Amino acid sequence: MTKMVDLLDEFGEATVVLTGGTMGSAVLSEINNSPARDTLDWSRVHFWWGDERWLPRGDAERNETQAREALLDHLGLDGSTIHAFPASDEGIDLDAAAEVYALELAAHAHEGATLPRFDITFLGVGPDGHVASLFPEQPGIRETEATVIAVRNAPKPPPERLSLTLPVINSSTRIWMVLAGADKASALGLSLAGASINEVPAAGVEGRRSTLYYVDREATAEVPENLTATEIFWTAADATD
C-alpha cells in the first residue's frame, strides 16, 4: 500500500498487473481486509492481467472473476480502469481475443511507448516454473514479437488461455513474485539458479527496477542458502521498493 501511495503521488495514477490462482486471490483478499484499504484513491489505479483462462465472463475459474470477488468489486470502481481479457462467450475466437487485448494495451500506452507503464506486476509461479500462461517447452515462452498470445494445449486446465508475453512482463518496473508451499521449492530454486528459460519460464522474469520474491518457509525449504542471498532474493520483510 505504501508503494501505491508513492506511485500516485509521483505519477498521478498507477498501473498494476494482476495474477490468478490461489496466491493471487489471497494477496487481493489481504488488501481488501486491510484497514488501510480505503486510504488509497483506487479510481486512479489501472488493473490489467498477466493471463486469463478462456472461459465465459463471470466463470468462477476466470482470474478476473476471482480478482473481482477478492478486491475489485469492493472498491466502488466505475469499470473504466479494469482491463479484463475478453471472454469465450463474447462472439470472438481465441486469436481475435489476443488481438483485442493487444490493441487495448497499445491504446493505453503513454506517448512514445507501445505499452502502458506497468508499475507493479504480480506473478504466481507454478510447480513446473510457469508464469502467467507461459509454460515450459511451449512456443509462448519464446515469443518476442507479439504482446499477447493465444495459448492452446496448456498442460493444465483449461487448455485454452490468453497471456502476456515475457518481454511485456519484463517491461514492468517492479515484478513481485508470490510463491507458497513445498511444491514450489523446485521451481524457486531453479529460477534463482538461472535455469533455462525454455525449461523454467520463471527464470526469465526480470523487472526493470526490481524483482522481488515473496515466499513462505515451505517454498524455501530445499533451496540452497547461497541462492537466497539478499541481493537476489527478497521476502516481504526485505522489500522497500
43 in a structural domain: yes
92 in a structural domain: yes
20 in a structural domain: yes
CB count within 10 Å of CB 1 equals: 12
Convert the pLDDT of each residue in 65-102 to its tens digit.
999 999 999 999 999 999 999 999 999 999 999 999 99
234 in a structural domain: no
pTM of the predicted structure, to 2 decimals: 0.92
Per-residue confidence at 220, pLDDT binned at 50, 70, 90? confident
pLDDT over 70 for what percent of the chain?
Answer: 92
Q: What's 74's domain CATH number? A: 3.40.50.1360
Inform me whether the pLDDT recorded for 61 exceeds 50.
Answer: yes
pLDDT of residue 234: 46
- Written as one letter, the residue type at 164 is L
Q: Which of 148, 168, 156 is nearest to 85 (CA)?
A: 148
- Written as one letter, the residue type at 180 is A
Strand partners for 179: 215
Q: Which of 230, 192, 233 is nearest to 212 (CA)?
A: 233
pLDDT over 90 for what percent of the chain?
Answer: 78
Q: Which domain holds residue 223?
A: 2-228
Place of cell 500462461: 133
Inform me whether the pLDDT recorded for 235 exceeds 60.
Answer: no
173 in a structural domain: yes
Ordered alpha helix ranges (H), the chain: 2-11, 21-33, 63-70, 94-107, 166-169, 185-192, 217-220
Count of domains in the chain? 1
111 in a structural domain: yes
240 in a structural domain: no
Distance CA 178, CA 121 (A): 11
Q: Which of 80, 23, 76, 24 is nearest to 47 (CA)?
A: 80
pLDDT of residue 227: 66
pLDDT of residue 226: 67
Convert the pLDDT of each residue in 111-155 to its tens digit.
888 899 999 999 999 999 999 999 999 999 999 999 999 999 999
115 in a structural domain: yes
Is it true that the peptide bond before 35 is cis, omega within 30 degrees of 0? no
Q: What is the DSSP letter of 60?
A: T
Q: How far is CA 38 from CA 7, 43, 218, 240, in A?
A: 16, 11, 32, 22
pLDDT of residue 120: 97
* Cβ 49 vs Cβ 18: under 8 Å: yes
